[in-house]
């Protein structure tokens, strides 16, 4: 297994932003998670969805939509884990 951080960014308050990341080998089993990196205690700050595009026979583009559940801008970090290498 290989884990890493694919990107960092910021999501304005009460909004969603979508990132894409491409050229992932289609044979890889990839799990995506997103965490907030802006400490604010008391309530959840973000959630995310993953959408998948089979860009070619051998590559995948992942589209990560991150929703900020708060009214303040939140910094995020999108993490991947390739489970089968």
Binding site for other proteins (CB under 8 A): 1-5, 7-8, 10, 31, 33-47, 69, 75, 77, 79, 81
CB-nearer residue toward other proteins: 55 or 69:
69
Q: Quote the least distance from Cβ 9 to other proteins, whole Å.
A: 9
Classify residue 71 as left (phi > 0), alpha (psi -120 to 50) or beta: alpha
CB-nearer residue toward other proteins: 57 or 59:
59
CB-nearer residue toward other proteins: 27 or 37:
37
Angle at 5 between CA 16 and CA 44, to 5 degrees: 40
């Amino acid at each position: 297994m290989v884990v890493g951080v694919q990107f960092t960014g910021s999501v304005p308050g009460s909004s969603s932003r979508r990132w894409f990341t491409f050229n992932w080998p289609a044979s890889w089993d990839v799990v995506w998670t997103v965490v907030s990196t802006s400490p604010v205690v008391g309530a959840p700050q973000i959630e995310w969805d993953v959408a998948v595009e089979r860009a070619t026979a051998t590559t995948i583009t992942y589209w990560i939509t991150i929703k900020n559940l708060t009214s303040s801008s939140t910094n995020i970090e999108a993490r991947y884990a390739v489970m089968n290498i």
